[in-house]
Amino acid sequence: MNSWQRWFKAPQTHWLRRALFQIHLWAGIGLGLYVLVIGASGTALLLKSPFYGWFEPKYVDIPEGVAPLEGDDLRARMEEVYAGAELGFLIEAFNEEDATYIVLNIDGEFIPHYFNQYTGEDNGPARPWPIRSVEWVADIHDDLLLGPQGRRYNGMAATVFILMSLSGLVIWWQGRSRWYTGLIINPFDRHHGLLWQLHSFAGFWGLLLMFAWGVSGVQLGWPQGLGTFLGWFGIDQPVRGRGSSGLLGFFREIHFATPGEGVLVTWLWILASTIPTLLFVTGLVVWWRRVVVRQWQVWRSAQATPSA
């Protein structure tokens, strides 16, 4: 059996697959926490828009027979409610159901609030803690809270993520007789556990998304590196900002979940964004069970065996 036949029929015995498996394994372990943080924060980033709809107190109930406060009367009532704060920028409601937007200066800190012009009461801060929390998590996704240098680290880590994704595609192949095992989840498969099947299933069907996230991550965080790499192949294409087009532009759209419209599409993108987190968790558990636990059992057995 030559090398190609071995790969086609029994890839588990091929040296190349074994090498790629080690690359995939240790890249996953090395980037594990990073993938978990970036994956979870990416999901939170997609939740940012729904969070504004859920928690931003920008609308008011319109009581029957009550006229809204306007002009000087509105400002006078605000001065009573926000006593001790300096009133700043104010936007009166454009629509009946909109609250009034007011920026308060409290000890030199500018804090936007919404005000109910019908009841004359504070509607709450424009950025309540759920919104501030999701924005903080989004900053982790963008630059790891490290500013421009953190974004560069993101770009470098994305190159390893691409390598991990592509190596996963290669080792996904189980041989001619079992080629379909990674395409489905079979609850009656006794040879492969459910977590292994879930890892293989999500990895295969989510490969395009992960490759797009990886390439666009390099493009966003380390455009110089991507430009140099493309230059090696004689490809002269803008890699920065909105100047990118073609395949790179498509990958950017995938990264920002822009294809499609509507609530259903938004939630499908949110569901898809959990794939890296799912892969990390399932891969970690499978590795722990198959490697760490077994080695621990072997060590315990050796310790329990009396020496001759």
Is 220 buried (19+), middle (13-18) or exposed (0-12) by CB count in 10 A?
buried
- Match 């770009």 to its residue by tokens: 155
Give the number of C-alpha atoms closer than 13 A to the C-alpha of residue 169, restricted to the C-beta side: 12
Low-confidence ranges of the chain (pLDDT < 50): 243, 308
How far apart CA 124 and CA 57 sit, in angstroms, is 6
Q: Above pLDDT 70, what percent of the chain? A: 94
20: which 2 tokens? 């790629």
Q: What is the DSSP string of 136-168?
A: HHHHHHHHTTSTHHHHHHHHHHHHHHHHHHHHH
pLDDT at residue number 128: 93
Per-residue model confidence (pLDDT) at position 240? 59
Question: Whole-model pTM?
Answer: 0.74
Q: Are 208 and 201 in contact (CB under 8 A)?
A: no
What does the pLDDT read at residue 120?
Answer: 94
Q: How many CA atoms lie less than 13 Å away from 193 in the CB half-sphere? A: 10
Task: State the pLDDT at residue 235.
Answer: 66
What pLDDT shows up at residue 183? 84
Rounded-to-integer distance, Cα 138 and Cα 150, Å: 13
What per-residue confidence (pLDDT) applies to 213?
93
Q: Are β-strands 121-125 and 109-116 bridged in parallel, bridged antiparallel, or unpaired?
A: antiparallel
Looking at residue 1, what is its pLDDT? 66
Identify the sign of the CA torsion 44, 46, 47, 52. Answer: positive
> Domain residues of the chain, as ranges?
3-51+141-303, 57-126
In this predicted structure, what is the pLDDT of residue 252?
A: 86
The predicted pLDDT at position 212 comes to 92
What six digits make up the tokens of 192?
A: 């492969």
282: nearest Cα among 221, 194, 169:
194
Position 180 scores a pLDDT of 79
